[in-house]
Amino acid sequence: MKFDIRWIRDEFPICRQKFPVPGFDAPQPIRYFDHGASTHPPRVVLEAHREFLEKYYANIHRGHHNLSMIASDLFDRTAETVAEFIGADLKHQTVFLASNTTAALDLAAFAMSHTEGVVLTTVLEHHSNDLPHRSYGKTVMVGMNPDGSLDMNDFAEKLEKHPVKLVAVTGASNVTGWMPDIHKMARMAHAQGAKICIDGAQLLAHKSVDLKPFGDPEHLDFFAAAGHKAYAPFGSAFLVAPKDFMDGIPPYRPGGGTVLAVTEGDALFTKGPDRHLGGTPNIPGAIAMAKALRFLQDIGLDSIREHEVELTEQLLAGLSAIPGVTVYGPADPAQRLGVAAFNIEGVHHDLAAAILNNEAAIATRNGCFCAHPYLHHLLAVGDVTDLVNRLGRGEDTELPGAVRASIGLFNTPEEVDHLIDWVGRLARREWTGTYDLEQRDYCKPVFFEFDGESGMSGASTHATARV
């Protein structure tokens, strides 16, 4: 399929959504630059989700009626779709369907807790590929270079120094978009007898992934990602993991669906995808996730990557040219996804994100993006002991952070120009609203009135936000 941005935007209902914005006579379309947090489902995915709920709603497996058999077939095909999308081999690997990437990575951390050794993590990680490993045993963190890329010399030294059983690394940073050479790291890990676990949450929808054949030195042992970052609804995710290894460890969450037989004193657990995740899964979510992956396949990951690289080049060049704006991470767009974290000199990141939303209808995200150690290093925060102590005492504390703009499939050059223009206005102090930075970590624009049934309505030309 030829990459057709008009057709693509027509597929996404969010592209037709409008919001009241002070200073404009009519509601404005949202310029959505928060794909790094969640992506919107296209029409075909929403229809697949709704069709299951309307026509085939039933629990899966062990039901001999038509609804259950259809639901089971649709659900079970999800694993095949995931495997095809990322190059997994179902003879040697199992696809476990989870609720989110955090849950998927926690399953990987639990699995590796049954092996002796330490987990090598990196300073780039989202908390979801760091804290679960900490909770199960000892971890050692690899540092970064001054530009925000991973320090591969430090990685090699620590891999050699410690009895490493697992390397846990992101496929792409959710802060800077920088992409480590995960296959090179896999080869190095395997040479030391370790496995590798990839947090693919940011990578999945933006660049083609190949786990490589089982037994290849650059093979990826564990790979986790979520549907809601790949244009599917919330609540669906997966972990691809070594089949024999997962069949040989105790069940992660024993319960309904995980057993072959139960007696008063014992249980015989099944093998395969049902072994570790007891209970009813998110069946419509899994079906919708599979539909979203097929939607991306139809467009073509290479075409998506080409489109997003062009927008990333435009965004990085535009932001970097604005006096007083600092953009974090390596400068080469080819080394990163369309994720740009930045700060504006003299403008708090809470305030910047609030103004972009309230006066320009631009959706960004701000804060530390669940990657505190990485942000602390990028911002050169230094010793954070006092900050942690003040937070622990419940004191109202100004947190370090940045604004993040993250590009997705349906963004356009015009939207990127709009964002760059407004960041420039903020750098020149050209906003019109009055903003009150009283409450840490949350912005609630008071000129919107929320109605549980009809949504959001009402606007004022005097914008007041509390953050």
Write the CA distances from 171 to 227, 359, 388, integer angstroms: 16, 34, 29
| pLDDT tens digit sequence for 84-97 | 999 999 999 999 99
Q: How confident is the model at residue 23 (pLDDT cuts 50, 70, 90)?
A: low
| pLDDT tens digit sequence for 312-341 | 999 999 999 999 999 999 999 999 999 999
Q: How confident is the model at residue 463 (pLDDT cuts 50, 70, 90)?
A: very low
CA–CA separation, 350 vs 466, rounded Å?
9
In the prediction, which pLDDT does 414 show?
Answer: 98
Q: Is the pLDDT of residue 448 over 60?
A: no
Task: Show the tokens assigned to 21.
Answer: 């914005």
CA–CA separation, 59 vs 67, rounded Å?
8
The mean per-residue pLDDT over the stretch 38-60 comes to: 98
- Number of residues that make up the chain: 467
In the prediction, which pLDDT does 187 show?
Answer: 99
| pLDDT tens digit sequence for 125-164 | 999 999 999 999 999 999 999 999 999 999 999 999 999 9
Q: Which residues pair with 150 in a beta bridge?
A: 144
Q: How far apart are the first and last CA of the chain?
A: 44
Q: Is the pLDDT of residue 454 over 70?
A: no
In the prediction, which pLDDT does 22 show?
Answer: 75
Helix intervals (H) in 87-214 = 101-112, 131-136, 152-161, 182-191
Q: How far is CA 91 from the centre of its chain?
A: 28
Q: Is the pLDDT of residue 33 over 80?
A: yes
CA–CA separation, 277 vs 446, rounded Å?
43
CA–CA separation, 38 vs 27, rounded Å?
23
Q: How confident is the model at residue 456 (pLDDT cuts 50, 70, 90)?
A: very low
Dihedral sign for Cα 36, 37, 39, 45, please.
positive
> Mean pLDDT across the chain, nearest whole number?
93
In the prediction, which pLDDT does 333 show?
Answer: 93
Q: Is the pLDDT of residue 439 over 80?
A: no
Q: Is the pLDDT of residue 381 over 60?
A: yes
Between strands 31-32 and 362-363, the pairing is parallel
Q: How far is CA 304 from the centre of its chain?
A: 17
Counts of helices then strands in the chain (DSSP H, E): 14, 22
**Residue whose C-alpha is closest to residue 18's, from 30, 10, 8:** 30
Q: Is the pLDDT of residue 465 over 80?
A: no
In the prediction, which pLDDT does 298 show?
Answer: 97
Q: Is the pLDDT of residue 450 over 50?
A: no
Amino acid at 466: R
Q: What is the DSSP string of 185-237?
A: HHHHHHHTT-EEEEE-TTTTTTS------TT-TT--SEEEEEGGGTTS-TT-E
Q: Is the pLDDT of residue 37 over 60?
A: yes
Torsions phi, psi of 148, nearest 5? 95, 0
The mean per-residue pLDDT over the stretch 425-436 comes to: 92
The mean per-residue pLDDT over the stretch 378-396 comes to: 87
**Residue whose C-alpha is closest to residue 204's, from 363, 87, 329:** 87
Query: Contact 118/162 with Cβ under 8 angstroms?
Result: yes
Give residues with Cβ within 8 angstroms of 60, minimum separation 6: 68, 71, 72, 75, 76, 280, 281, 283
The mean per-residue pLDDT over the stretch 38-51 comes to: 98
Tell me which CATH code domain 5-32+300-466 carries: 3.90.1150.10
Q: Which residues pair with 455 in a beta bridge?
A: 451
| pLDDT tens digit sequence for 296-313 | 999 999 999 999 999 999
**Domain layout of the chain by residue ranges:** 5-32+300-466, 44-298
The mean per-residue pLDDT over the stretch 49-58 comes to: 98
**Residue whose C-alpha is closest to residue 20's, from 467, 463, 466:** 463
Domains 5-32+300-466 and 44-298 share a fold: no
Q: Which CATH number fits domain 44-298: 3.30.565.10, 3.40.640.10, 3.90.550.10, 1.10.287.70?
A: 3.40.640.10
Task: Show the tokens assigned to 388.
Answer: 């942690």
Q: Is the pLDDT of residue 81 over 50?
A: yes
The torsion of the CA quartet 66, 71, 73, 76, rounded to 10 degrees, works out to -160
Between strands 434-436 and 118-122, the pairing is unpaired
In the prediction, which pLDDT does 458 show?
Answer: 41
Among 180-194, 259-273, 375-389, the least confident range: 375-389
Query: Contact 31/408 with Cβ under 8 angstroms?
Result: no
DSSP secondary structure code for residue 398 in this structure: P
Q: Which helix (H) or strand (E) holds 98?
A: strand 93-98
Among 72-76, 159-163, 275-279, 398-402, the least confident range: 398-402
